[in-house]
Every structure is written in structure tokens, then in C-alpha cells.
Amino acid sequence: MLEPRVEETKDLTSVELFAGGGGLAMGVHEAGFRPLLVNEIVTWACKTLEANKATDRGTVERLPRRGERWPLVPGDVANVDFNYLLGAVDLLAGGPPCQPFSLGGVAKGDEDKRNMFPQMFRAIREIQPKAVICENVQGLLRPSFRPYFEYIERELSLPFEERQAGTDWREHDKILQERLTADPTDPKKRYQVVTTRVNAADFGVPQIRNRIIVVAFRCDLGVDIEEFKKSIASTHSESALIRSIRDGSYWKRHKKVPEAVKALVESRLPAETPVDDGKLPWRTLRDALKYDYSKGDAEARKWQLPPIPPEHLDRRERGAGGVKYHIGWPDARIYPGHTPNVLDRPAKTVKAGVHGVPGGESVLLTDDEILPDTADSETPIFQHRYMTVRETARVMTFPDSWKLEGPRGEQMRQLGNAVPVRLAKFFAQAVAKALADAEKLP
């Protein structure tokens, strides 16, 4: 299944808020959008952006020319004035922080100040972008959070219906619901909203990462929402991975995998082979360590990261060919509730945190077998170690050329907070195609 393609005939533009280490911004850029402004508050993340694509814009508000570096405005988004961008932006993108995002925290008139959706809505009012992409945690759809999240969806539909200071969100929600029953008086001030549950693995990312992606199109554009929904159908599946392991095509891609590893992987497959669903196989952690998928399936480069045996867990760089941040780290532990990634499945969700984040998300099980203490053990036991920052970046589908600033813990935090580049690019391409198709309408 092919990713949606967009002809590079129009100068598409974007604004990125809450940019973090740059995953969503990079994906949007690779989809053909030219950033007019990028905003981030965390110092190390700003340094990462500047080390790659961005430069501090300074205080002068101006539209950059083609070919310029991304204009970065560091600091609190609440202090950013977007009015000079009115009418110049095709896509506004961002993953607004929304902690603690529960009814206990938002039932009052004064929501938690870490909820940044209000700043996203302010940016929409000042910019009036043609489209919006928001990424966030899937937990927002839990029953306890759902009423407030549905309110946020309605706010996104009617961002110009501002909530008055001191008004309870439920009171404002009633006003929004009433407004939505009527035809818009100004279609430029209303948006059509599509919320999609996604697992990044279903889009070719070598990682299980369950999120929601909210996309909105300005109503005056006449975007075909049903066609857009079809364009964001998943491209990869677990069933296809199982089939590829069982028919041997997966192992043909990976030479010299020990027979004990193959036997263990195959012993854990379902008894029946799934039917062919026409999709591509999930990408695994082993795939990510061998191939650079930052350019997509067809253009993936075979670039095996250097191995890190137990004697190389010494905090020393093991990169090659310009690959950095491939550093062995000691003292990884596994135990019940803290289980490691396995090579022949997508990695667990990369989480923001230091190298020992809970749940074993940054630990992997290698192919190196350990001799059991007793002769009774029939199940092979394998060495484990921490994943390197570069391995984690590959799981997030950042290109090997992407630089990460700060100590290891800060680098991992940036990766854990990011949107996988490949996932961002897929949705941004679908948005670009929807906008292009709408422009062709009579």
C-alpha cells in the first residue's frame, strides 16, 4: 500500500507549536510544507531544533523566504503573537500538552494551566489556517476524560466562539452544541474535525504507539472528508508480519539470526496463519536496527547499526559512518513488570524519561544466549541491555543525520515526547492531498 503523494507544485506553508525535538515538524516538512514559525519552550529541545533545521527568529515578525531555516520562537507560546501570519498558513500543527486532563482537573472554571489547547485555539483565531493537525495520547478517549475531550473537539470546530472568563466549560459546551446545529454564518470560522485512533506500527513505524490524531479543515474549502478518511487508512498490520515470519520472507531480510531465536519467535506465533489482508508487515525492532526507514519502505537504506556486546556497555560512542549517539549504557535490569523489547516485534512505546523509564521500554533482548545456571532449563535465556539513543531515534523514524542536544536523559525525553516522523509525514501528506483536491473543485 502506497503512502499518499502530493505534487510539489504549490508552496505549502506550516506553523508548528509545542515542537519538542522536532518529530511532527520534521514529518510535516518532509510532506512538502515550509515552516513559517516553530515554537518550543524547553531549552534542550530548542537547541536540538537549532542544531538541525531551525534558527532563532528574534523579535522581528516576518515571513521567511523559500530555503531559509525554520524560524524558531523559543519560550512560552502564550507570549507569541500570530497575527502577522493571518492568511499565510496552510497547516497549523502541534501536540498541545494537556496534563492532567481528567474531569477532576477540568470540571472547575479554571482548568489546569498546563492544558495548552486554549493556546492552540488562539493561534487558529489569529492565523485562520486551512488545516490543523493535533497529536495526543489515546488516554483522552477514556470514559472519564471523554466528555471534556468532546468539548475540545467542538471548540476546534468553532474556535471563534471564545469562552468567556469565569465561564464553566460545561456552560460553554452547551453554547457550542447549539451553534453547531446551525449553518455557519462565516465558513472561514468553522472547521470540520476528524479524530482518528492510531497505532504507529500500523503506518510502518517500528513501534507500538497508540495515539489520537485530530485533523480539522476550514469549512469554506469544501474538503471531501470521507475521501480524506479513506486516505488515512492504515498501511501495515501484525497479521502481515506473522505471515512473513511463517513463510520465511522475514528471515530472508535478516541473515545470521540464531536458530534458537527463530525457533522461539515462531513458537509464539498463533496456531493459524492469518489471512492475507493486503497490507505490509509491521516493522520490527530488528528491522529498525538494520534499516533506516526515515525515507519510507521503498527507499529504506540497509545500514546496520554496529553491535553493542556486553563488554561495550562502557558509555563510549559506537557509531559508524556519521551515526552518532550509539552508546552502550550499563546496568539495565529486567524483572516482572519491567520486561524488555524483543527484536522481532515493533518496539514498545518510547516514553519521555531517563534511560530507565518504567516498563522496560528502553531495554532490549539481544540474540546473545546466556548459558542457564541449571541443565533443566529448556527455554533459552538471552542477554539484555539498554537501547542506545540512536536506536531509539530509529524507532521514532528520525533520520540518522538528526542531531539531539543535551545529556542522554534529555535526548531520550525529547524522543519520548515526539511524534514519529514517518507517522507525521503520512498524515501531513494526506492533508496536503485533501487541500490540493479541494482547490481543483469547480
Is the model's pLDDT at 198 over the cut of 60? yes
Query: What's the pLDDT band for 407 if we cut at 50, 70, 90?
Result: very high
Q: In 3D, which of 174, 221, 400 has the Cα closest to residue 295?
A: 400
Q: In 3D, which of 73, 62, 136 has the Cα closest to residue 423?
A: 136
Q: 274: which 3 cell numbers?
A: 492469518
CA–CA distance, 305 with 397 (Å, rounded to integer): 14
Query: What's the pLDDT band for 249 if we cut at 50, 70, 90?
Result: very high
CATH fold group of domain 12-235+419-439? Rossmann fold (3.40.50)
What is the pLDDT at residue 372?
61
Q: What is the pLDDT of residues 353-398, one digit of tens each?
A: 644 454 567 899 999 988 665 555 566 788 999 999 999 999 999 9
How would DSSP label each residue in 22-65? Answer: SHHHHHHHHTTEEEEEEEE--HHHHHHHHHHTEEE--S---PPP
Is the model's pLDDT at 347 over the cut of 60? yes
CA–CA distance, 43 with 47 (Å, rounded to integer): 6
Locate the DSSP E strands across 289-432: 291-292, 301-302, 363-370, 381-386
Query: What's the pLDDT band for 167 if we cut at 50, 70, 90?
Result: confident
Q: 154: which 3 cell numbers?
A: 467542538
Locate the DSSP E strands across 248-330: 280-281, 291-292, 301-302
What is Dmax (Cα atoms) for the chain?
78
At residue 429's C-alpha, the angle toward residues 427 and 433, to 5°, is: 115
- Helical axes 421-439 vs 23-30, angle rounded to 10°: 40
Mapped onto helix, strand or coil, the DSSP state of residue 74 is strand
Q: 408: which 3 cell numbers?
A: 542522554
Q: What is the pLDDT of residues 106-134, one digit of tens each?
A: 543 346 677 889 999 999 999 999 999 99
What is the pLDDT at residue 105?
47
Residue 208 · residue 199 · CB < 8 Å: yes
162 or 299, higher pLDDT: 162
Q: What is the pLDDT of residues 295-331, one digit of tens each?
A: 666 656 778 888 898 999 999 988 776 788 999 999 9
Least confident stretch, 163-172, 220-229, 374-383, 411-420: 374-383
Is the model's pLDDT at 100 over the cut of 60? no
Return the percentage of the chain with pLDDT > 90, whole number. 71
End-to-end CA distance of the chain: 30
Q: In this structure, which long-range contacts are made by residues 139-146, counting pairs with CB atoms below 8 Å and at least 24 apart in sequence? A: 139/101, 140/98, 140/101, 140/212, 141/197, 141/212, 144/102, 144/103, 145/101, 145/102, 145/103
CA–CA distance, 200 with 210 (Å, rounded to integer): 7
Domain with CATH 3.40.50.150 in the chain: 12-235+419-439
Query: What's the pLDDT band for 7 if we cut at 50, 70, 90?
Result: very low
